[in-house]
């Protein structure tokens, strides 16, 4: 295959990818719309108002703990793979 033919193929693919991504995004919006059709916002607000501050604090702490675990896992992998954690992502 010549380089010109390969370039034409890549150009066609580069034009197709945004169209496919837009179609996937539209399908996700449609699915979300169908799922939320029976949702009552006032019931949701009443449920949230019924939660205690302790429960909300526990949910926030669990969320922050989950994010801290993800960050810690990334640092652990970087340390395990390269032997050090540097600011620039490289090994020492």
Q: Could you tell me the CA-to-CA distances from 63 to 15, 45, 77 in Å, in that order? A: 39, 20, 21
Cα-atom radius of gyration of the chain, to the nearest Å?
24
- pLDDT, averaged in runs of 10, over the chain (92 residues): 65 87 98 94 93 96 97 87 63 50
Statement: the pTM of the whole predicted model exceeds 0.85: no
Q: How many helices (H) and strands (E) does the chain have?
A: 3, 0
Q: How far apart, in whole angstroms, are the C-alpha atoms of residue 78 and residue 10?
A: 34
């Amino acid at each position: 295959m010549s380089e010109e033919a390969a370039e034409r193929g890549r150009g066609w693919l580069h034009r197709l990818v945004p169209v496919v991504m837009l179609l996937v995004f539209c399908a996700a919006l449609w699915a979300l719309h169908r799922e939320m059709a029976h949702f009552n916002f006032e019931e949701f607000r009443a449920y949230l108002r019924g939660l205690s501050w302790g429960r909300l604090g526990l949910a926030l702490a669990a969320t922050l703990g989950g994010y801290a675990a993800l960050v810690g896992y990334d640092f652990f992998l970087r340390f395990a793979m390269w032997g050090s954690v540097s600011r620039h992502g490289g090994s020492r």
